[in-house]
Chain A
């Protein structure tokens, strides 16, 4: 399977003169781990949102196996793991409820990510960022997922947890031959994890 951004142009409403992405193309094959690096504000998160279908490109298209992403019904095969896990869980629901809504998570995943049974009865405000991030990873890795977009998922974690999470993700992607897009500022992390590194181009409308 291939996830492809074909000749994508995107700008936010009213910012036609300064597009975030200008005729940008990228592909990720199953089993590949692509690193994405660029300075702040260059559009890394925007690219992830486009690839996951949260935004639609103004020009160009996002294709999964040659078909537009919008054609897939139900749980999307492309899932994004967000930079701030505390914003992606409903603050009023216990985590167990949130998790069961997304379809039950395999026992194996829970164990590998060290998700404790007791967390299920808690509210999101009662877990730390790292704990929530592991929870979000488990949720995103539902059985139908083929591509995982990791938007700075480990930037706020301590080194031990970072290592654990990446260790797990590497094994999981190999086992299920998932495609992975890794966004990070950390060059050594990208070198360690990725099979290929892409840099977002300097936008042509910027003159400084």
Chain B
């Protein structure tokens, strides 16, 4: 009967655990490899991928594998930070819009529309420049531009919950406001929030990499994926394909992993599919 216990829920849980382990592993490995990523050795420049250097080496003899992992690690850490900041902003603003009356709602909704109306990459660039580029600039840019979609979801969800018949009935039956909020609203809100939070990572990571690639983000001595990609553009035409391929591919893989993580988390948490 073991096969019957192996349902989609268990499979999804296993996937979640594995994905989190992989991502945590990359993040930790990147922190340790950061020094090695900066080591230059002119006796081993421009080596193609092989047994010793899996991702090859660049024109300064740096190990591309170490650089890639260090870059991914930095990207994931920036992604975590920015996603957490924007999700917190989204939660606060969304709840305020839904609960503080019509005026607050239209003011916040106006801000949401305003930020959503400007293309992300443009906004990230502008904020990043205004904040002096570098780590602080990228974090500010990405977190200040990514909250609106989640804020809108939270606002809608809270509005709907506030007027849901079962919430109204509970209040009529004398259940306290605090208990209604904790017992009846949070369990409905939390899945949406968590899914939105996880799905913010891939966005944040990609925008961090692209704004750095364009030269408005992290400075060039940091081992960021965006830096690696933009530098390798000069060497692509000379036939050193490995400089861009492996870092780019691993960035895409990490992003896909995050996106799948969010989607699977929704399967488990969303009321509509939680009992399947």
Contacts and interface: CB of A to CB of B under 8 A. Distances in A.
A74 B174 contact: yes
Contact of A88 (B166, B183, B187): B166
Interface stretch (A16-24, A90-98, A175-183): A90-98
Interface stretch (A4-12, A75-83, A111-119, A198-206): A75-83
B14 interface: no
B214 interface: no
B271 A76 contact: no
B5 interface: no
A52 interface: yes
Interface string A14-56: 0000000000000000000000000000000000000011100
A4 B167 CA distance: 25
B165 A76 contact: no
Contacts of A90: 166, 170, 183-184
Nearest to A54: B168
Contacts of A91: 166, 271
B271 A102 contact: no
Interface in B154-199: 164-166, 168-170, 172-175, 179, 183-184, 187-188
Interface in A87-142: 87-93, 101-103, 123, 125, 139, 142
Contact of A101 (B179, B188, B271): B179
Most buried by B among A54, A76, A89, A90: A90
Contacts of B173: 75-76, 79, 101-103, 139, 142
B166 A87 contact: yes
B181 to A, nearest CB: 13
Contacts of A102: 170, 173-175
Contacts of B170: 90, 101-102
B4 interface: no
A101 B175 contact: yes
B103 interface: no
A75 B275 CA distance: 32
A76 B174 contact: yes
Main secondary structure of the interface of A (DSSP, over half): loop
B201 to A, nearest CB: 26
A187 B174 CA distance: 34
B257 to A, nearest CB: 29
Most buried by B among A87, A88, A123, A139: A88
Nearest to A144: B174
Nearest to A83: B165
B165 A87 contact: yes
Contacts of A79: 172-173
A101 B183 contact: yes
B174 A88 contact: no
A75 B176 CA distance: 10
A109 to B, nearest CB: 15
B164 to A, nearest CB: 8
Contacts of B166: 87-91
A119 to B, nearest CB: 16
A52 B171 CA distance: 12
Nearest to B188: A92
Contacts of A52: 172
Interface in B262-276: 271, 274-275
Contacts of A142: 173
11 contacts: A54-B172, A75-B174, A76-B172, A76-B173, A79-B173, A88-B165, A92-B188, A92-B274, A101-B183, A102-B173, A142-B173
